Chains A and B, each alone.
Chain A
Amino acid sequence: MDQPSPSSPIKLHHDLQAIWDTKPGWGRLSAVNHTVLGKRFIIAAFVFFAIGGVLAMLIRAQLATPRSAFVGPDIYNQLFTMHGTVMMFLFAIPMFEGFAIYLLPKMLGARDMAFPRLTAYGFWCYVFGGSILIAALLLGVAPDSGWFMYTPLSSSTYSPGINADIWLLGITFVEISALSAAIEITVSILKLRAPGMSIDRLPIMAWYLLVTALMMLFGFPPLILGSILLELERAFDLPFFDPVRGGDSLLWQHLFWLFGHPEVYIIFLPAAGAISMMIPTFARHPLVGYRAIIAAIIAVGFLSFGLWVHHMFAIGIPHLALAFFSAASGLVAIPTGLQIFAWIATLASGRPRFDVPMLYLAGFFVIFVIGGLTGVMLAMVPFNLQAHDTHFVVAHLHYVLVGGFVFPMLAAAYYWLPHITGRVSDHKLSVPAFWLIFGGFNMTFFLMHLTGLLGMPRRIASYPPEAKWEWLNLLSSVGSFLMAIGFALFVVDIILQVRFGKAFRRNPWGARSLEWATPTPPPAYAFASLPRVQSRADWLDPEDHAVKLAAGRGYLGFARYGWMETLGVGMIEGEPDQVIVLPKPTILPLWTGLATGAIVLCLLFKAYWLALLPLAITVTLLLSWTRTTGAQSDLGPLPIGHGQSAAVHWEAERPPSWWAMVFTLGADATFFASLLFGCVFLALIAPAWPPPVVVSPSYGLLALAALLMIAAAIYGRLALRDLARTRSPSAWLGLCALSHAGVCAVVAAVIASDIPDPTLHAHHATLFAILGYAFLHSGVGCILALYGVQRQRHGKLSALRSLDLRIGSLWHDYAAVAGVVALLAVVALCWSVGGRP
């Protein structure tokens, strides 16, 4: 196959544009491009920020005076719950996702993210899930048990309405988008880079986002598990959190904070990544301590999983365990401090230039350091017990979140807006906006330290005048309105820049990273050809690259077969090992998102059987995504320019989708481990054990299920072996599907015969959950095996094109291992309460 001949830059631009552009009008709904979707994520997240901000204003209006008659306690509960929920789940996480989606490919020298349709699907899940929450708010049935939804307050006894269900289902829906973004970000950083960008040349932002995405993969599953268990309890009365029947409300707290504290760093690290990109530009000096910073981020990533109990110091666990969590909480300040010192060192070694983004970074600096200090105070158990659940905590968490996320994001907005719009502004409003936000913020929240120390609890709708907090609260509320005016000014400033800013040629800040080598505003394909990187990718010469790349003198500087192509590289050495052909714009992600939303709505309105219909539609739609992928004949290596060639990704050894499955299974395993932790926790710690009736499982059936699970995995591998020998794998795949179906049938039989009433006691409910997990995995395995048969029938498989079966085989293997562990766990849990054979 020949390499298409080079063409003029203008022609190349037109050719690529014809292939990559999103169609106008209704075609916008089928967008999958990272530039388009990144912007949409950012705008949607900002809208949710505004909603959360309005809620905050209502909260402050209520607290401005004692005995306020503005809203009653019921509404107030909804206000602060929704404020916290919106800010954490619908603003902070999606905002960073938007930044990552927009910037990452450009910083890495790729043309898009690894799974564009997944980006689109994630976007729709986010918007639909968020809309459900906001609709509930407008209808007055919003969640009202606080953003961490503690049981038993959120259990059906004390929250009988739909409010809590909206939180549990809506947030889980939004989490789909967070998890898919995490997988996509991880794989994109590891595989989709410019040639020559070896792992030691990644721009520092990529390291930050890599660690963040991995933290999401391990942090979100506990929350999703917790939400599912609580929803099962609310909907079907399975007593996971009910202390009368062997449940324990502390299990919820563990699962929530196992997610909740890492979440704080998941929000902070991307912001720190943005800071690490901006500081070198303004210091005109490369980032100091690149390697030490990476080690520090890794340390933060791990340590932040070892301190969740600092949110639960008051629950009464052994002193020594408190000491562990307290020590880890204090320790995490060290790697964070190291980054701050690296930024100072960068500024000190360079010739700093002051500009608007730096002003906002200065604001970050002051506020975040104060928040860090109060954090260390709260990490100390004796102080914590005094300040627990007071406004001191509210002050601390806002210093960290607003300082650590909002201010850096404001700086980033000013820094990267010229990239998005191709315009620069004169920043007349940016400076007064800053002072209003900064001043207003400190006035609002510094005073909360004082009200907190004076004993004002959080989450109270009114307080008596005798409490002597009125002046502080009034001033705090005035401050919050000043801050709101500042944000309004910021919005006006941005609109003015977008509408009336002056156009510029390229790279207004003199930045040294690859995103500034694209034309601005960027075309859908980002780079007309892909660069070869010779130095660290946050200290290169974008101008020089830009000219060569636009002229098509890099890699893939041509349009071939109407394909959207980018390069995949070896993870460490960064040499091209595949041509990744990305999917065309399609409306399927929107339909799939709608179908998923329909499932959520069915569950919300308790139409459980009806939910199976949208579930089937969702699965069918997801499978139909693959109709356009792959090919019916072997292509062999394709030229990629500069005399090199590489295989197309579905013929490559380790394409992005293979890695995506590996990381998906990693998240899945975390989910499973959390489930097992929960079961053991209840059996060991919860009151009301042992159960009144002990399950004695049908060992014969369990053994049969285990055999079938292992058989399915073996058949999956045999199919792959036959395909490699150019024989049809269909028969093996059929057996694989049958074995999985057999597992489902046997497990269902075990549930029916041994656990007739899972509502009886947590013992029964936990066994039910574990068996359900095994059932689901074989169900999915069955679908994947049948999907393999279908691919074979369509001629999409060959010895070279075995990707679909290799991905399937990963699943079958995992299902076997996890399934056998699940069955053993069932037996062990029965024995532990005396149910011996």
Chain B
Amino acid sequence: MGEVASGKRLLALAAGFVIWSVAFVVLYSALSIGCRQGWSDVHLLAGLSLQRVQLVALYVLHLLAGLGLVVFLRRSQFTSGAAAFLQTVAFYAAIAAVFSTAFTFAGTLMLTPC
């Protein structure tokens, strides 16, 4: 295996939590921008504010990305050895990351945004 290919395989260990980190940066920025622009006062249908809708959309999007990664890593291509080991650990980490994403940003569903 080439060294750069090895490097990529190692990076898979971090993939799940990279999605969590991106979610963090994106949601925190979207929240700050939305509050600044007064999006919580822009009402869309059924009493939902623009701020709420965009935050929940971003929340769901990152959850889906995380779940996609979990599914991808579950389809194991290796049966034994170091590569299989890395995939298993990456899979565990991805599950932990989806759970973390769901938990950390659950506030977007019900808390006052600003």
A298 proximal to B (CB < 8 A): yes
In the complex, the answer to whether A306 meets B104 with C-beta atoms within 8 Å is yes
Name the residue of chain A whose CB is nearest to the CB of B85.
A200
Please measure, in the bound complex, the distance between the C-alpha atom of A792 and the C-alpha atom of B31, giving whole angstroms. 54
A331 CB–B CB distance under 8 Å: yes
B107: min CB distance to chain A, Å: 4
Taking the nearest CB of chain A, how far is it from the CB of B110, in angstroms? 10
> Once bound together, how far apart are the Cα atoms of A295 and B98, in whole Å?
13
Contact present for A320 and B107 (CB under 8 Å): yes
Decide yes or no whether B112 CB sits under 8 A from chain A: yes
The residue on A at minimum CB distance from B2 is A653
Interface-side segment among A159-167, A244-252, A567-575: A567-575
Per-position 1/0 for A272-293, Cβ under 8 A of B: 0000000000000000000110
CB distance from B88 to the nearest CB of A (A): 6
| CB–CB B105/A324 < 8 A | yes
Known: A198-B81, A327-B107. A570 touches B13 (CB 8 A): no
> Contact: B3 with A299, CB < 8 Å?
no
Q: In the complex, are the beta carbons of A298 and B111 less than 8 A apart?
A: no
B103 close to A327 (CB less than 8 A): yes
Tell me how far the C-beta of B109 lies from the nearest C-beta in chain A, rounded to whole angstroms. Answer: 10
CB distance from B76 to the nearest CB of A (A): 14
- Residue of B at shortest CB range from A330? B103
Q: Are A572 and B32 within 8 A (Cβ)?
A: no
Closest Cβ–Cβ distance, residue B100 to chain A (whole Å): 6
* CB–CB B31/A298 < 8 A: no
Which residues of B lie under 8 Å from residue A318 when comparing CB positions? 31-32, 35, 113-114
Whether B28 lies near A324 (C-beta < 8 A) is yes
Which residues of chain A from 322 to 354 have a CB within 8 Å of any chain B CB? 323-324, 327-328, 331, 335
Out of A299, A319, A323, which one reaches B96, CB within 8 Å? A299
Q: How far is the CB of B74 from chain A (nearest CB, A)?
A: 15
For residue B86, CB closer than 8 A to chain A, the reply is: yes
Query: Is B93 part of the contact surface with A, judged by Cβ < 8 Å?
Result: yes
Is there contact, CB below 8 Å, between B97 and A299?
yes
**Cβ contact within 8 Å between B111 and A200:** no
CA separation between A570 and B13, bound complex, in Å? 17
Q: Are B85 and A571 in contact (CB under 8 A)?
A: no
A346 to chain B, nearest CB (A): 18
Chain B residues closer than 8 Å to A324, beta-carbon distance:
24, 27-28, 104-105, 107
Whether the Cβ atoms of B100 and A303 lie closer than 8 Å is: yes
A199 within 8 A of B: yes
Q: Within 8 Å of chain A (Cβ to Cβ): is B45?
A: no
Tell yes or no: A294 within 8 A of B by CB. Answer: yes
Q: Are B9 and A572 in contact (CB under 8 A)?
A: yes
B3–A321 contact, CB under 8 A?
A: no
**A contacts with B, residue count (CB < 8 A):** 35
Say yes or no: is A256 at the interface (Cβ < 8 Å to chain B).
Answer: no
Interface residues of A in 289-311 (CB under 8 A from B): 291-292, 294-296, 298-299, 301-303, 305-306
* Contact code string B8-48 (vs A, CB < 8 Å = 1, else 0): 01100110011011001001100110011000000000000
List of B residues within 8 angstroms of A292 by Cβ = 92
The reply to whether A574 and B82 form a contact with Cβ atoms under 8 Å apart is yes
* Contact, CB under 8 Å: B24 / A295: no
> Measured between C-beta atoms, what is the minimum distance from A13 to chain B in Å?
34
Taking the complex as formed, is B64 at the interface, i.e. its CB lies under 8 A from any CB of chain A? Answer: no
Please judge, given known A-B contacts A302-B17, A324-B27, whether A199 and B86 are in contact too, CB under 8 Å: yes
The answer to whether the Cβ of A613 comes within 8 Å of any Cβ in the partner chain is no
> At the interface, yes or no: B89 with Cβ under 8 Å from chain A?
yes
Complex Cα distance, B107 from A328, in Å, reads: 12
Checking A303, A321, A574 against B31 with a beta-carbon cut-off of 8 angstroms, the contacting residue is: A321
Contact of A684 among B14, B32, B92, B105 (CB under 8 A): B32
Let me know if A654 is at the binding interface, CB within 8 A. yes
Q: Are A291 and B92 in contact (CB under 8 A)?
A: yes
Cβ-neighbour of B89 out of A294, A302, A320, A572 (below 8 A): A294
Q: Is the Cβ of A572 less than 8 Å from the Cβ of B24?
A: no
Q: Are B17 and A299 in contact (CB under 8 A)?
A: yes
- Cα–Cα distance between A537 and B12 once the two chains are bound (Å): 23
Cβ of B2: which chain A residues have Cβ within 8 Å of it?
653
- Inside 8 A of A295's CB, which chain B residues have their CB? 89, 92-93, 96
Distance A302 CA – B113 CA, assembled complex (angstroms): 25
The answer to whether A199 and B82 touch (CB under 8 A), given A328-B104, A572-B10, is: yes
In the bound complex, CA of A327 to CA of B27 (Å): 14
CB-CB < 8 A to A303: which residues of B? 17, 20, 100
Contact B21 A571, beta carbon cutoff 8 Å: no
State in angstroms the CA–CA spacing of A790 and B28 once bound together: 49
Q: Which residue of B lies closest to A324 (CB)?
A: B104
Chain A residues numbered 635-691 whose CB sits less than 8 Å from any CB in chain B = 653-654, 684
Q: By the criterion CB–CB under 8 Å, are B24 and A306 in contact?
A: yes
- Residues of A near B7 (CB, < 8 A) are 571
User: Are A200 and B32 in contact (CB-based, < 8 A)?
Assistant: no
Q: Using Cβ atoms and an 8 Å threshold, which residues of chain B touch A302?
A: 14, 17-18, 20-21, 97
Whether the pair A571, B10 counts as a contact (CB closer than 8 A) is: yes
Decide: B92 and A573 in contact? CB cutoff 8 A.
no
Do residues A571 and B28 form an inter-chain contact, with CB atoms below 8 A?
Answer: no
Contact, CB under 8 Å: B82 / A327: no
Residues of chain A within 8 A (CB-CB) of B13 are 294, 298
Q: How far is the CB of B111 from chain A (nearest CB, A)?
A: 5
B31 contacts A291, C-beta separation under 8 Å = no
Chain B proximity mask over A85-100: 1 for CB below 8 Å, otherwise 0: 0000000000000000
- Contact: A298 with B10, CB < 8 Å? no
**B103: which A residues are within 8 A, CB to CB?**
327, 331
Instruction: Kindly report which residue of chain B lies nearest to residue A658, judged by CB atoms.
Output: B3
**Residues in B55-99 with C-beta less than 8 Å from chain A:** 55, 81-83, 85-86, 88-89, 92-93, 96-97
* Contact residues in A for B96 (Cβ distance below 8 Å): 295-296, 299, 335
Residues of B within 8 A of A319 (CB): 111-114
> How long is the Cα–Cα vector from A199 to B35 in the complex, in angstroms?
46
CB distance from B65 to the nearest CB of A (A): 15
Tell me the B residues contacting A by CB distance below 8 Å: 1-4, 6-7, 9-10, 13-14, 17-18, 20-21, 24, 27-28, 31-32, 35-36, 55, 81-83, 85-86, 88-89, 92-93, 96-97, 100, 103-108, 111-114
Q: What are 11 A-to-B residue pairs whose CB atoms are below 8 Å?
A: A199-B10, A199-B86, A292-B92, A295-B89, A295-B96, A302-B18, A303-B20, A320-B55, A324-B24, A324-B107, A328-B100
- In order of increasing CB-CB distance, the 10 nearest A-B pairs are A323-B107, A200-B85, A302-B17, A295-B92, A654-B3, A198-B82, A295-B93, A571-B6, A572-B6, A327-B104
Q: A303-B100, A574-B82 are in contact. List 19 more A-B contacts (CB 8 A).
A: A198-B82, A199-B10, A291-B85, A294-B13, A296-B96, A298-B14, A302-B17, A306-B21, A318-B31, A319-B112, A320-B113, A320-B114, A321-B31, A321-B32, A324-B105, A328-B104, A571-B7, A572-B83, A573-B81
